[in-house]
Structure 1
Amino acid sequence: MSLADLLLGLFLLVFLATSRSQCPTNPSGIVNDTQALLSLGDRLGIKVWKETANPGAWRGVEWSSDNRVEALTLSRFNLLGVLPSIWDELPSLARLDLSQNNIFSLEVAGCKNTRLKLLNLSSNSLREVPANLSSLESMESLDLSGNFLGVARVPKLSSTLRSLNLSINNLTGSVSIGGNLGLEALELSHNRLSGSIPETFGEMTNLMRLDISYNKFSGDLPDIWSKNLELRYLDISSNSLQGGLPPSLRRLRKLSVLSAGNNFLSGPLELEDGDFASIETLHLLRNLFNGTVPARVGSLTNLRLLVLTRNRFSGSIPLELGNCSNIREIWLNSNDLTGTIPGELSQLSHLQQLVLNGNDIGGELPSGLSNCTELIALWLEQNKFSGNLPDTFGNLSRLLFLSLSSNNLIGSIPASYGKMTSLIGLDVGSNDLSGEVPAMLQNVSTLQFLFLSSNRFSGSIPDWLLRLRNLRAMDFSLNRFSGEIPASIGRLFANVQLYNMSTTTPLVRAQSLIYAGFAFPTTMDFSSNQLSGSIPAAIGDLYNLQVLDLSHNRLTGPIPEPLGNAKNLSRVTLASNRLKGSIPSSVADLSFLTVFDVSNNSLVGRIPDSPQLSSMDAALFAGNQLCGLPLINTCSSTATPPHRPRRDEQGGREHDQGGVTTLVSVAIFVAAFFYAFFWTFLCTLRQPTKLVPSSVGAGNRISSSSTMLLPSFLPSSS
């Protein structure tokens, strides 16, 4: 053997040894994946794999038929710090999920790997894209969302990569995607990217999904989409984009979802023959589009969701919209639309939500809408509708929300509305309706919100209200109800879940709707009517009641001592009645109380000592003969504090009236002094409550597979 042969052999041995040390296929000499997992578990602090001797039952491990690990789901395993290249020790590993941990960095040796196809590192603590990910030669999906990445430059990754998710990071400036032009899905939403939309996006001929929403992209929406022939989903919402919808975008024949809300797009909405041939979701909320809603929208036969909310559209609703036979939701609210609701809309047999509030649409409510038997929400408030409530609406058995407030409707509530057995909310406030509340409504056991304010309803407070087991808010204010408050009122609200102001608003799902029902305080408002008699002691049984308003009536007698038993009360308004006696000391036990308005009554004596009452505006106690904080006049020695009823063997109730005459002159002065303050406060307090759909904006994400434009059931003055 020659010296050259010896040197060549020695070189090969050194090269192979070096290669093994850099890219080991089995660094510990472990002969199977079970031992490899146990070794990894020791280094990563995973103890659950030692709790059972059966590897097939190990949490997060998927095995192939030949007993090799093909997938690891280590999400929420409390992994911390720098992680090794797990795929180097598991040669058959194809899918690796490390999401929702606290990983700072990931070791990538740079060795070639041809098996791993999916890597999920979302919701960790990464501050940069792990180095050498290009060595994963077969990777198809990479998820780095929900980290702290700050560099908006994506290195060239494997040519097999099809999905890249960099959303919810700290990416700033302009974006560079390297040579990754074979992507089918690119997610960059919820960052701080700026500048114009990169023209390289238009070069991605395989792109099917692009989401760059919630960034700071600006300038005119570029006309770069002519090569994106596979694009199906485009979300450019919540940026600062201007101009109109370019022709190359409108002519994408496979585009099914376009979400461009919350921008500054302007001009007429131009549609030509063949535009948006496959569109299912057209979402243009909160832009500056003007002119009329184009009649060509009726040619979008695949359209399921149309959102043109909060633009500047004028003119009538196009009758051609009735040709969109597949449409589920129409949102045209908060524009300047006029005319009437076209009868052609009654042909839309799949229509679920019709949202037209905040326009100038008039005429009578079309009874033909009852043909839309799948309707679950009808929002028509704040328009100019007139005439009677259609009796046929009672046939809408799936309807959850009916909001008709702030119109010019007359007549009574039809008894047929008692057949809407799915109804959650009925709002007919601020109209010119009259008559009694139909007893048939007691059959609507699902009813949670009943708003009748600012009409001319009369009669007594219905005693059948207690049969509405799910009722959580009712507003009967500014009507002509008379008679006494029934004692049966004390059995209301037993089944409601309380609104907690200290927590994040939870959302309640009702079929395809999401509404913030639990974010609405449990409310009873009978203010500004003609109610007489005393406040029933049963009011103290309303443990779940949070807002009570009986102001501006003709109520007499004392404030009942059991009021303090309603422990969750936060707002009590009894102003402008004919109440007598003292404020019961039990009110001091209402620890959530923020407003207690008893102004303009005939109350006497000392205001109970409590931090809540003493910190309130003095105007809330004006117009009485009261003393003590928060009033500036002090109580005389003869004005003893109000006390609870004595419960001895004889029973009975003591009335504290001593020293009242010494306070008359001071009380009159205080009442006059705070008169102006009282009316200012009262005008602020008396805001009508309405059912309005939420603005379909930030936080409402659109997808082609599910309806996400959903109203919140919240009070609003808009």
Structure 2
Amino acid sequence: MTNGVKKVSSNTKNGLTHADLLNIIAKAAEEGTNRLSLSKEGITEIPNEIAQLTTLEELSLSENKITEIPDCIAQLTRLETLNLSNNQIREIPDCIRKLKKLRWLNLANNQITDISACIDILIRIRWLNSLNLANNQIMKIPKNIVNFAHLKWLDLSANNIKTIPSCITNIHKLEKLDLSKNAIKRIPNSIIHLTKLEDLNLANNQTTEIPEYLARLYELTNLNLANNQIREIPRCIGKLTKLWQLNLSNNQITEIPEDFDKLTKLWQLNLSNNQITEIPECIAKLTNLQWIYLSHNQITEIPECIAQLTQLRWHREIHYYGSYVLNQLDLSNNQIIKIPEYMGKLNCLKKLNLANNQIRHIPECIAQLHELTELNLANNQIREIPECITELIYLNWLDLSNNYIREIPEGITKFIGEKRGLNFSNNQIQEIPTFIAKFTQLNELNFSSNQIKEIPESISQLIYLRKLNLANNHVINIPKFISKLTYLESLNLANNQIKEIPECIIQLTELKELNLSGNPIGDVVLGLPHRNSKSPRPGDMVLGSQSSPQGIE
């Protein structure tokens, strides 16, 4: 018997032929396979021969073109997991109730409209505890859903459901309920009867308030109410003391209540895209926080209480040992004027995003963020990069685009680790420094929209570079040594003063996107390799004096 997942993969764009499918089934039956994946194979019909797979425990037929489930499926009596998502199924046949051992059924992304008959069939499967009917065409939740006595996970997201019926609260064993991406306006008070509910997702609906009684779902660990029309967080939220994750982003919330300090187990908080003007002192008591997202609000300053989120903890629940709790802080798109000195206390912060604010100065305290790997200060009013930034030796992503920077300090080359990207676009830089060559592992480099006149030879030493953007500068020619960038996939030199394209471009065999629009180049014929190679595709090449750059950011 084969215990591993037998994954089938055809070599043709049209998927498996019927004969190939029968051969696979026959071989799987002979081997006694218990896990089989036939996903993404263009299958339109499940053949009767599937009944031969009597040892099968897991079967995936997702992302095909199946329109109906045949009676022969009932012969797979050992089946525990069945994935039929992303097909064209309209109804569930009575035969499926014979799959007595079925625990997990995925019918997401089909064309099911009425689940009442479907439920009458599925409730006969005693062990079924997970049902996914997301992204179908379901208009309402029928009353007979109360008969799902053993169901623990129910996903009805991305349908056309407008109300949550009180009958759903009789599924007493329910632990996870996903009703996101519907048109629900109100959370009924009967929801308090789901006493074992741990995960509730009502994001992307039309809910206008968080009702007081929601706080009686004492077992909740994950609550998602993002993308609604909520204006206020009630004080009762503090009673949900087991919450790990809370997402209230994209609402109309103006303040964070003091009762937040009772959510001491919270490790991820998302309040981005609201109308919050200040971060309250109570946030300091959330000592388990690892991720805070407060971008796109109206915050003007970073309070000192943020600096207190540095307590050493062991998180057994998520198998994570963090030197200090807070490791991601996003305050982008606010109205922050300065980075306070006490920010240096967050010395295990890994990702800091302060883009799109009004910051003028990078303070010395930034050097104390020793663990920082990503720093985004784009779209501020910064004029210089201080030497202290060179102490951030683990930094692998730095974005200082859209500022007023004129030069880059050489000490920046102290950065070690895997280099992913440097973005200095939209500044006032006149030349690319020669010490850029020390970033030998760099993948992305962006100096677009500056005042650069030439490409220095030092850039040829960035042998692992995949994206190079020098658009909107004053570059006159493309040097021959550009051919040494053998891993280059994207090259943007749009809107410069380049008059000719050197033949060395042909040697960039990995190049997929080439943008030379907005240059005074005449008619050009390049001897590029044929289209089946890894050279630029015609749709990705923009040559000559077109008005705007395309294809490469």
TM-score category by the smaller chain?
0.7 to 0.9
Give the 3-state SS of the residue equivalent to 1:435 in structure 2.
coil
Unpaired runs of at least 5, structure 2: 10-22, 40-45, 311-323, 526-543
Contact 1:161 1:183 in 2 (8 A): yes
Contact 1:150 1:171 in 2 (8 A): yes
Give the 3-state SS of the residue equivalent to 2:299 in structure 1.
strand
**Following the alignment from structure 2 to structure 1, what is the Cα–Cα distance between the partners of residues 329 and 144?**
44
Measured after TM superposition, the shift of residue 305 of structure 1 is 0.5
Give the residue type in structure 1 aligned to 2:283: L
Contact 1:405 1:428 in 2 (8 A): yes
RMSD: 4.1
Contact 2:231 2:253 in 1 (8 A): yes
1:648-706 CA deviation, whole Å, 9 max, x = no partner? Answer: xxxxxxxxxxxxxxxxxxxxxxxxx96x92xx449x978xxxxxxxxxxxxxxxxxxxx
Unpaired runs of at least 5, structure 1: 1-71, 81-100, 109-117, 498-521, 623-629, 635-672, 687-718
TM-score, normalization by structure 2: 0.75
Measured after TM superposition, the shift of residue 451 of structure 1 is 0.4
Structure-2 residue corresponding to 1:611: 505
Structure-2 residue corresponding to 1:473: 397
Contact 1:413 1:438 in 2 (8 A): no
- For the structure 1 residues 177 and 356, does the alpha-carbon distance in structure 2 shift closer, same or farther, using more than 3 Å as the test? farther
- For the structure 1 residues 598 and 181, does the alpha-carbon distance in structure 2 shift closer, same or farther, using more than 3 Å as the test? closer
Contact 1:212 1:235 in 2 (8 A): yes
* 1:353 and 2:268 matched: yes
* 1:371 and 2:285 matched: yes
**Following the alignment from structure 1 to structure 2, what is the Cα–Cα distance between the partners of residues 295 and 129?**
55
* 1:220 and 2:220 matched: no
Structure-2 residue corresponding to 1:279: 197
Structure-1 residue corresponding to 2:417: 495
Measured after TM superposition, the shift of residue 351 of structure 1 is 0.3
Within the candidate set 298, 301, 305, 2:218 is matched to 301
**Following the alignment from structure 1 to structure 2, what is the Cα–Cα distance between the partners of residues 598 and 171?**
45
Structure-2 residue corresponding to 1:383: 297
**Following the alignment from structure 1 to structure 2, what is the Cα–Cα distance between the partners of residues 256 and 633?**
63
* 1:548 and 2:445 matched: yes
Measured after TM superposition, the shift of residue 368 of structure 1 is 2.3
* 1:570 and 2:486 matched: no
1:235-264 CA deviation, whole Å, 9 max, x = no partner? Answer: 2334x34221111103433211112334x3
* 1:486 and 2:383 matched: no
Contact 1:477 1:529 in 2 (8 A): yes
Structure-2 residue corresponding to 1:528: 426
- For the structure 1 residues 479 and 229, does the alpha-carbon distance in structure 2 shift closer, same or farther, using more than 3 Å as the test? same
Contact 2:224 2:247 in 1 (8 A): yes
TM-score, normalization by structure 1: 0.59
Contact 1:418 1:444 in 2 (8 A): no
* 1:252 and 2:171 matched: yes
- For the structure 1 residues 461 and 177, does the alpha-carbon distance in structure 2 shift closer, same or farther, using more than 3 Å as the test? same
- Work out the percentage of aligned pairs sharing the same amino acid: 21
**Following the alignment from structure 2 to structure 1, what is the Cα–Cα distance between the partners of residues 60 and 7?**
18
- For the structure 1 residues 330 and 619, does the alpha-carbon distance in structure 2 shift closer, same or farther, using more than 3 Å as the test? same
- For the structure 1 residues 463 and 157, does the alpha-carbon distance in structure 2 shift closer, same or farther, using more than 3 Å as the test? same
* 1:234 and 2:132 matched: no
Structure-2 residue corresponding to 1:330: 246
Measured after TM superposition, the shift of residue 155 of structure 1 is 6.3
Within the candidate set 82, 99, 113, 1:165 is matched to 82
Give the 3-state SS of the residue equivalent to 2:230 in structure 1.
strand
Structure-2 residue corresponding to 1:401: 328
Give the 3-state SS of the residue equivalent to 1:524 in structure 2.
strand
**Following the alignment from structure 2 to structure 1, what is the Cα–Cα distance between the partners of residues 116 and 189?**
25
- For the structure 1 residues 212 and 452, does the alpha-carbon distance in structure 2 shift closer, same or farther, using more than 3 Å as the test? same
Within the candidate set 323, 342, 367, 1:416 is matched to 342
1:631-651 CA deviation, whole Å, 9 max, x = no partner? Answer: 4699xxxxxxxxxxxxxxxxx
Measured after TM superposition, the shift of residue 586 of structure 1 is 1.6
Measured after TM superposition, the shift of residue 156 of structure 1 is 9.4
**Following the alignment from structure 1 to structure 2, what is the Cα–Cα distance between the partners of residues 347 and 129?**
58
**Following the alignment from structure 2 to structure 1, what is the Cα–Cα distance between the partners of residues 102 and 309?**
46
Within the candidate set 370, 375, 380, 1:444 is matched to 370
Contact 1:587 1:608 in 2 (8 A): no
**Following the alignment from structure 2 to structure 1, what is the Cα–Cα distance between the partners of residues 442 and 343?**
27
Moved more, 540-549 or 423-432: 540-549
Measured after TM superposition, the shift of residue 318 of structure 1 is 2.2
Within the candidate set 197, 207, 210, 1:290 is matched to 207
**Following the alignment from structure 1 to structure 2, what is the Cα–Cα distance between the partners of residues 372 and 278?**
24
Give the residue type in structure 2 aligned to 1:218: I
Give the residue type in structure 1 aligned to 2:443: Q
- For the structure 1 residues 128 and 464, does the alpha-carbon distance in structure 2 shift closer, same or farther, using more than 3 Å as the test? farther
Within the candidate set 105, 118, 123, 1:187 is matched to 105
Measured after TM superposition, the shift of residue 464 of structure 1 is 4.5
Structure-2 residue corresponding to 1:586: 481
Contact 2:78 2:99 in 1 (8 A): no
**Following the alignment from structure 1 to structure 2, what is the Cα–Cα distance between the partners of residues 257 and 273?**
13
Within the candidate set 103, 127, 147, 2:25 is matched to 103
**Following the alignment from structure 2 to structure 1, what is the Cα–Cα distance between the partners of residues 194 and 367?**
45
Structure-2 residue corresponding to 1:209: 129
Structure-2 residue corresponding to 1:456: 381
Contact 2:418 2:442 in 1 (8 A): no
Measured after TM superposition, the shift of residue 307 of structure 1 is 1.5
Measured after TM superposition, the shift of residue 297 of structure 1 is 1.8
